[in-house]
Structure 1
Amino acid sequence: MSPDPTATSRWGIIAAFSLVGAATQMVWLTFAPVTTVAAERYGVSETAIGWLANVFVLAFVLLAIPAGLLLDRNLRGALVLGGALTAVGACIRVGGDSFGWMLAGGCVAALGQPIMLTGITGLTRGYLRPEHRPVGIAVATASTWAGFVAAFALSAVFSTTDTLPTLVAVHAGYAVVAAVLLAVAIRGPVPFGETRRPAGVRASWTAVRGAWNDPLIRKLCLFGFLPFGTFITLSTWTQALLEPAGVTVDQVGVMLISCVLAGVIGTAVLPVWAAGHRTEVLTGMVGIATTAAVCVLLAVAPGFGTGLVSLSIAGLMLLPMLAIVLELVERHSGDAEGVSSGLVWTMGNLGGLVVSAIIGATLDSPTASFLILAVITLLALPILAALRAPVAAMASPSELADAADPTSPGPAVG
């Protein structure tokens, strides 16, 4: 079945997907803001509680590419499965008040997250007209950052050992409602999707090799490694790095929430503006340079005030990079966007693991840590420079829309 050029965009499905996207982040980060409280409640170490979040990162690295293959073969079925796994995992944690139950539920929910987040490009390609896809990708991506904020906000409300079970139950209830709404909304044919041909294992991994051998996709993956790595590192180590400057745990929580709130705003605006004005690479360069400057500022003037302002600016400029990369992947990859997105997500999460490990080894010297992170972040600039020509040669969203409309005379020349 070919796409229907007269079909209208299905924004209700984007909204339902966004609810599940937020749920994946909430379930992932349930215990991150209350690590000490959770360790006391379940009688384990803080390191053990950390693994309740780490299993999601490890699952993402291992499963993002298989998730992309699944999405390329059956978009609707994969998205329903991803929402269901997230909800089931969250509900398992309600089944018992122990670390074992939390870990078991986390392991199940971790299977759903790579499907949902890798599915952003396929979702927008399948349910939105070409001219609407940059907005759709921005909205769906912003919902994941909104889930990050919701996780921290709910943890501030349910922050004691006595209220921790309520926090787990609230996350489970939300995940179930979101999964049901998505399953209901996504019924029926995919209006802009081609019928996918079943692929065997050999054909599937041939698609992976083909995507990686695409010069543009490979450069986008290498670029994604660094912004992902920088953000995950800031999220992981800001408290430890700013503690010598007298910044408290609560203040770091405020800083990170402000950072991600700014990122939600930036993701909703900057990628759409960049796609409309064909300034994706320039926007990326400004974002990378700004984030590196933030790291230098934190190195020379650490403190709550500078941290709050600088991390908010970093969130505003850095977090939209994900939506920009995903929009370029969707525009370039066609019906193989699931595999390509899986590669981007895999490299991004690997970046988080690698860069966090590098900075984690230098925590004794916060100034050096922030300066090293600034240098690592700036390594993205040469990659962006190499992307300038191929990105400029790509069709714009408006040109794709004209191509999809049989009544259009085609793009103007001149």
Structure 2
Amino acid sequence: MRMRSQWPAIVGYSLVGAATQLVWLNFAGVTTVAAARYGVSESAIGWLAQVFPLLYVVLAIPCGLLLDRWFRAALITGAVLTAAGALVRLIGDDFTWLLAGQILASIAQPLVLNAVTGIAGRYLSEKDRPTGIAVGTASIFAGMVIAFLLSAIFTTASTLPTMLWITAAFCVLATAILIFVVRRPGPFEPAHPATPFADFADAPLTAQQEPAAPADANPAEAAAVHADAAAAPIDAQAAHAGASIGFGSSSRPDRGALAAAWGDPLIRRLCVLALFPFGVFVAMSTFAQALLEPAGVSGGTASTILLVNVIAGVLGSAIIPILVVRRRAESTLLVVSLTATALACVLLAIAPGVLTGFVAITLIGLLLLPALPIVLELVERRTGEAEGTAAGLIWMSGNLGGLIVAVVVGLLVDHPSAAFLVMAAIALIAVPGARALRRPIAELRSQSQP
């Protein structure tokens, strides 16, 4: 009997994914108002958001390991903690309770976001998984849109508690729906988990087999190649770990999953690549208003530009990855999105303004954000039962890239042209690495075909 995809699980996951972003960015558009209401500095309000990527870098791998071993329990825990964090913020009308709620929700975020590939792999048939991953990822960006909309509606100090109540209600409802739709294991839940990266474990690469970086290699491509060589000893360990524990016994499957995930050359390359687009997007989202202000772009207009940017990203993430996977053009899309992002940043450096801001930043959202579901779909196709750990590596790399690039751009905030050109250069650095993925992706596709 042919098993059918269970789309309600994707709907439940999408609601909780949106909830995590809603809690994260509740105060992004009302920083000044919130600082005045709670009697703290604007930088303190900023920490309500910054705690999320900081803790993500620390918790991404442990949460991925939990998802690989106890998927439904870990995902539900993440949903419950998200709702709990939103509710804790309602206990008292002061900054301390806000920060406590944010920390609680930030601990939950890796358990939810790392699960996007796992929920698709367990509840959808193979042909539907690219669509499920695209929808789940798009919902994460949709949560950002909801956060921006709420901050645009509740703009005064007296209305902030109402915004927090609405957020808490959404989180609780999303959690209840998720618990109901995943109350039973998915139809594609592995009864006896097999070794992830089976092909890789059967024939691990050695240091001698690793390709050398060309003399004129771009830094991103060279970094990926050297990462492969540096981790070559782990390759053999990963294969041995997978063979010895089978990823289904009680003998430390977490350790084998992590060794196998990091020991896979394709996953390492994707981790290196994720640093660049994530970094540019986070830096642009953080500093677009400040960088465009000298060109006469008001704060309200900049907020609208960023909102349109994320809406374009939601639409792009829901549609473009599906078309790209069908046409087997993953590498091409990554190259195009990175190149277009670099050109858009150059345009902002040369001719900043309202019109160029709308055009350039919307283009970045439309083409750059779909890179995430494409990378995650490759991870799901490659990893099998270790998709939580591998997805955690991708998210960790992306958040790390966001922190690094945001710091660099922040140092140049008084020099907008230089800041935009730095972001353009960062995007261009990753282009050769994206192009170099064409052959590994083709090999992965041929291995997955019966």
Whether TM exceeds 0.5 here: the answer is yes
- Per the alignment, residue 343 of structure 2 pairs with 293
Q: Secondary structure at the match of 2:104?
A: helix
Task: Note the alpha carbon deviations across 1:227-271, whole angstroms, 9 max, x for none.
Answer: 100100000010111111111111111000000100011111111
Q: Is the 8 A contact 2:69 2:254 kept in 1?
A: no
Q: Residue 30 of structure 1: SS of its match in structure 2?
A: coil
Equivalent of residue 298 in structure 2, options 248, 271, 284: 248
Counterpart residue type for residue 17 of structure 1: Y
Distance 1:6 1:116 in 2: 29
Q: TM-score, normalised by structure 1?
A: 0.93
Task: Tell me, in whole angstroms, the C-alpha distance in 2 between the residues paired with 1:125 and 1:194.
Answer: 10
Equivalent residue, structure 2, for 1:328: 378
In the alignment, residue 92 of structure 2 is paired with which amino acid? G
CA distance in 2, matches of 1:59, 1:335: 25
Match of 2:83 among 87, 98, 110: 87
CA–CA distance in structure 2, aligned partners of residues 69 and 135 of structure 1 = 24
Q: Which runs of 4+ in 1 moved over 6 A?
A: none
Equivalent in the alignment of 1:171? 167
Alpha carbons of 1:25 and 1:198: their partners in 2 closer, same or farther (altered >3 Å)? farther
Cα displacement (A) at 1:205: 3.3
Q: Whole-Å Cα distance in 2 between the matches of residues 199 and 58 of structure 1?
A: 32
Aligned to 2:4: 8
Matching residue of 1:354 = 404
Are 1:231 and 2:227 an aligned pair? no
Q: Under a length normalisation based on structure 2, what TM-score does the superposition of the two structures give?
A: 0.86
Post-superposition shift, 1:395? 2.2
Q: Secondary structure at the match of 2:176?
A: helix
Aligned residue pairs: how many? 395
1:114 has 2:164 as partner: no
Q: Structure 1 stretch 182-191 or stretch 317-326: which is displaced more?
A: 182-191
Contact 2:330 2:374 in 1 (8 A): yes
Equivalent position to 2:319, from 263, 269, 291: 269
Name the structure 2 match of 1:20.
16
CA RMSD of aligned residues (A): 1.3
Equivalence for 1:143: 139
CA distance in 2, matches of 1:208, 1:379: 28
Q: Which residue matches 2:329?
A: 279
Residue 129 (structure 1) aligns with: 125
Q: How far 1:7 sits from its partner (Å)? A: 1.2
The structure 1 residue matched to 2:179, chosen from 176, 179, 183, is 183
Residue 79 of structure 1 deviates from its aligned partner by 1.2
Q: What letter is aligned with 2:160?
A: L
Q: In 2, are the aligned partners of 1:73 and 1:199 still within 8 Å (CA)?
A: no
Following superposition, the deviation at residue 210 of structure 1 comes to 2.3
Compute the displacement of 1:363 (Å).
Answer: 1.4
For residues 79-107 of structure 1, give each alpha carbon's deviation from its aligned partner in whole angstroms, at most 9, with x where no partner exists.
11111000000000011100000000011
Match in the other structure for 1:78: 74
The whole-number CA distance in structure 2 between the counterparts of 1:139 and 1:107 is 27
CA distance in 2, matches of 1:382, 1:286: 11
- Which digits, 9 at most, give the CA deviation of each residue in 1:143-165, with x for residues without a partner? 01100000000111111000001
- Does residue 59 (structure 1) correspond to residue 109 (structure 2)? The answer is no
Percent identity reads: 50
Question: Is the contact made by 1:229 and 1:355 (CA closer than 8 Å) also made in structure 2?
Answer: yes
Match of 2:427 among 374, 377, 394: 377
Q: 2:236 aligns to what?
A: none
Contact 2:332 2:435 in 1 (8 A): no
Which residue type is aligned with residue 176 of structure 1? V
Question: 1:337 aligns to what?
Answer: 387
Does residue 384 of structure 2 align to residue 388 of structure 1? Answer: no
Distance 1:329 1:50 in 2: 32
Is the 8 Å Cα contact of residues 27 and 90 (structure 1) preserved in structure 2?
yes
CA drift at 1:60:
0.8
Matched, 1:36 2:32: yes
Is the CA contact 1:73–1:198 (under 8 Å) kept in the aligned structure 2? no
Contact 2:69–2:253 (Cα < 8 Å) also in 1 = no
Tell me if the contact between 2:120 and 2:129 (Cα under 8 Å) persists in the aligned partners: yes
Gaps of 5+ in 2: 194-247
| Separation (CA, whole Å) in 1 of partners of 2:90 and 2:120 | 33
Shift of 1:345: 0.3
Cα offset for 1:203? 4.4
C-alpha spacing 1:29/1:330, structure 2 compared with 1 (3 Å): same
The 5-angstrom pairing of residues 144-159 of structure 1 reads 144-159=140-155
SS of structure 2 residue aligned to 1:163: helix
User: Which amino acid in structure 2 is aligned with residue 320 of structure 1?
Assistant: P
In the alignment, the residues of structure 1 paired with residue 407 and residue 263 of structure 2 have an alpha-carbon distance, to the nearest angstrom, of 28
SS in 2 for 1:94: coil
Deviation at 1:198, TM superposition (A): 5.9
User: What is the aligned partner in structure 2 of residue 216 from structure 1?
Assistant: 266
The equivalent of 2:45 in structure 1 is 49
